[in-house]
Chain A
């Protein structure tokens, strides 16, 4: 990989050679927009200092002949620890994991009730999202609903409208399945250009859980639904927004769609629709209606607000694609990723997530030269349909700039597109369903930046 990647902005971070006063001056000038001043200041500073050629060993032997963390036994090795159930009966992550949080993107929304929090993909392992880190999207605030008072109604084109309690739903034969959920607007901010720094903000409206519940077809059968003429089903929530979306009957007949109460071994979290949410594998999150209170069978789509005003994809000619639902094959490298710093040259494990709303992930390729050459990554087990799939690839960083990308192929043969390919058919104003290949620039300083390449 040669060159400076064309932008002239990939600097060798000479900022660090400026003293405190110099840095302050530079930042003040930067606020005034004087880029030439900054460049000259850096050049002058860099000229006076020799860049250390050899990169330090990450864990050098200290002069005292050993690591103090080894030589001096710590408190936890020489004292009595804590007792069982001392955490109030529900365990929490280590206090050292406080940085691993779901977060709002600053300035994205004016309220917290109609907003999003993004999952910290850069810090997660494997394919399961811890329930407390699952991304959130609320349209009119979340609730913690008393499950003994929650009801599910089935009506519309049915022999008899039905009402179910949670007790009754939980008596029915259940299934447990791993599925990803991705907001249709995931990665939306980067449709036109780079807008956010980290994978949490570019791809964090993505999570994966083991959900437990009852296939919707079972409940429709109990109501004697007209499965032939009732080609569309409305799912409705019990919250203030009474979220509604149209689901195709053909997908329900496949047995994939289910009504879930369980998530990762416990009940759904309130932010995820406790006590009942619809699971629509492969389909964008907005259709996974939370606080599910009603299912209606009909013979035409319902054109609800979130399928007639939002979650519609604008094309360059001025038409909107309506009822776009499938999350097409997509992948992203989660480490190294934007906002991180590589500690040193040498070995790294490139790791990331791949998924497809049309089935299983078949292959993931990784490039470290911005898409010129690719190597096939190791796919980790289990590989499940419409679930996140973890991939890994060995990489030795030589300290030179590198652009890391991943490209997934699903079992239908569909290959994740580049930004150029996506924009050539959909323009840059679609908002939804951006599944383009993501690029992370590893700079010589070790700092990783979110970039798009031409």
Chain B
């Protein structure tokens, strides 16, 4: 042991840090090496609120719309409004908000939901996140100019920039000054574990540990409605078989007072996932995120598997091909992109769908 963190603190207190830390590398010879400029460039992708780190480039609203419809609309909807898969991105902001920098709908409880553009104060956040993490199933695949274009399109959908706008590293700071919720954040709270924001250190709740005759007679103000009794599955199967308490059998009405607990006869064995399991259609559909857009019995972004089964009963070859190649125009305006999976995997899923998409 050469150096403990406490030494570092003591060093800070003595104001010796800069000289001391500069020679740190000699403390652990042979551990770590300098990163090459090429390596740093490959990973140093973050963009800060002051746009430090933003690479030069530009993109138009029109180009952004093309990229959006091909790569983003499946999950987020054509106008970024969809809440089917993720929280909605666009909506809920007004021209008044753009002027004031505070989104009025955040003050009401009547507006349903909170979109990304209602909340986000910093445009850098939007650019940085699209660049590092989108599209969801192919993150980091967009070019720099593509990221500018998609960002421009989202700004246009929010009424922040006009239809003919080109967003670039030259004008992004001006656009930041039009962000609808740019004044909507505060760091005046005690939940930051440091002194960097000069925030308040006193917590905002002030309970006292009263021990006797504290609160008035309690009334139950909220509990689950009876119809939700089994909504989280049978709770008897979510508790250990033995113990001071057993799980309630929520497939049946509540037990009567004093009645003996019936032994659970179905012992669910914990079986590790086998190779065979992962080849099951449901496992494949989770792996390849089919279930993001499709459900068995209802339309999400794409059609219900049962509806596909009704339209193409037994047509394994056709469905296999459609999974692999993608398609558009049959079930609605949102195209399904070509899926990156093997033919055998596509066939496993297609066989299940063509057979009726049953359990």
Contact B232 A16 (CB under 8 A): no
Taken together as a complex, chains A and B put the C-alpha atoms of A383 and B2 apart, in Å, by 29
The yes or no answer to B329 lying at the interface (CB within 8 A) is no
Question: Which of A18, A99, A301 lies in contact with B240, CB distance below 8 A?
Answer: A99
Kindly specify which of B60-68, B142-150, B211-219, B273-281 makes contact with the partner chain.
B211-219
CB of A269 closer than 8 Å to a CB of B: no
Which residue from chain A places its CB closest to the CB of B195 in the assembled complex?
A: A250
Assuming the contacts A123-B240, A421-B207, asked whether A454 and B218 have C-beta atoms less than 8 A apart, the reply is yes
- The main secondary structure of chain B at its interface with chain A is loop
Residue of B nearest to A350 (CB): B244
Residues of B contacting A324 with CB < 8 Å?
A: 189, 191-192
Is A452's CB within 8 Å of the partner chain B?
yes
**Cα(A451)–Cα(B136), bound, Å:** 38
Asked if A425 CB lies within 8 Å of chain B CBs, one says yes
Interface string of B265-296 (1 = CB under 8 A from A): 00111101000000000000010010110000
Chain A: minimal CB distance from B314 (Å): 29
Kindly specify which of A61-69, A71-79, A205-213, A440-448 makes contact with the partner chain.
A440-448
B interface, how many residues as a size bin?
35 or more
Question: B218–A293 contact, CB under 8 A?
Answer: no
Of the residues B109, B256, B259, B272, contact of A14 by C-beta under 8 Å: B256
Q: How far is the CA of A182 from the CA of B249 in the complex (A)?
A: 29
The answer for the CA separation of A135 and B213 in the assembled complex, in Å, is 38
Contact of A421 among B39, B205, B232, B269 (CB under 8 A): B205
Decide if B213 touches A372 in the complex (CB within 8 Å): yes
Q: Which residues of B from 222 to 256 have beta carbons under 8 Å from A? A: 222-224, 226-228, 231-233, 235, 237-241, 243-248, 250, 253-256
Q: Which of B104, B204, B272 has a CB less than 8 Å from the CB of A426?
A: B204
Is the pair A163, B39 in contact by a Cβ cutoff of 8 Å? yes
- For residue B256, give the distance in angstroms from its CB to the closest CB of chain A: 3
B326 interface contact, C-beta 8 A? no
Number of residues in A with C-beta < 8 Å to the partner?
Answer: 176
Q: Are B24 and A222 in contact (CB under 8 A)?
A: yes
* A173 to B8 CA separation, bound complex (whole angstroms): 15
A-side contacts of B189, CB under 8 Å: 313, 321, 324
Does residue B124 face the partner (Cβ distance < 8 Å to A)? Answer: yes
| CB pair A140 B253 closer than 8 Å | no
Contacts of A139 in B (CB 8 A): 133
B4, B48, B140, B220: which contacts A453 (Cβ < 8 A)?
Answer: B220
**A221/B48 contact (C-beta < 8 A), A140-B133, A163-B35 known:** no
Interface residues of A in 300-341 (CB under 8 A from B): 300-305, 308-309, 312-315, 317-326, 328, 335-337, 339-341
Interface 0/1 of B172-209, CB less than 8 Å to A: 00000000010011111111111111000001111111
The reply to whether the CB of B341 lies closer than 8 angstroms to some CB of chain A is no
Chain A hits for B35, CB < 8 A: 153, 155, 160-163
B255 near A349 (CB under 8 angstroms)?
no
A98, A106, A161, A348: the one within 8 Å of B270 (CB)? A98
Is the beta-carbon distance between B193 and A308 smaller than 8 angstroms?
Answer: no
Question: B108-138, CB under 8 A of A: which get 1 and which 0?
Answer: 0100001010011110110011001100100
- Known contacts A312-B185, A318-B103, A399-B257; 11 additional CB pairs below 8 A are A3-B217, A5-B218, A17-B256, A31-B227, A159-B22, A196-B232, A236-B46, A248-B195, A317-B107, A372-B214, A425-B204
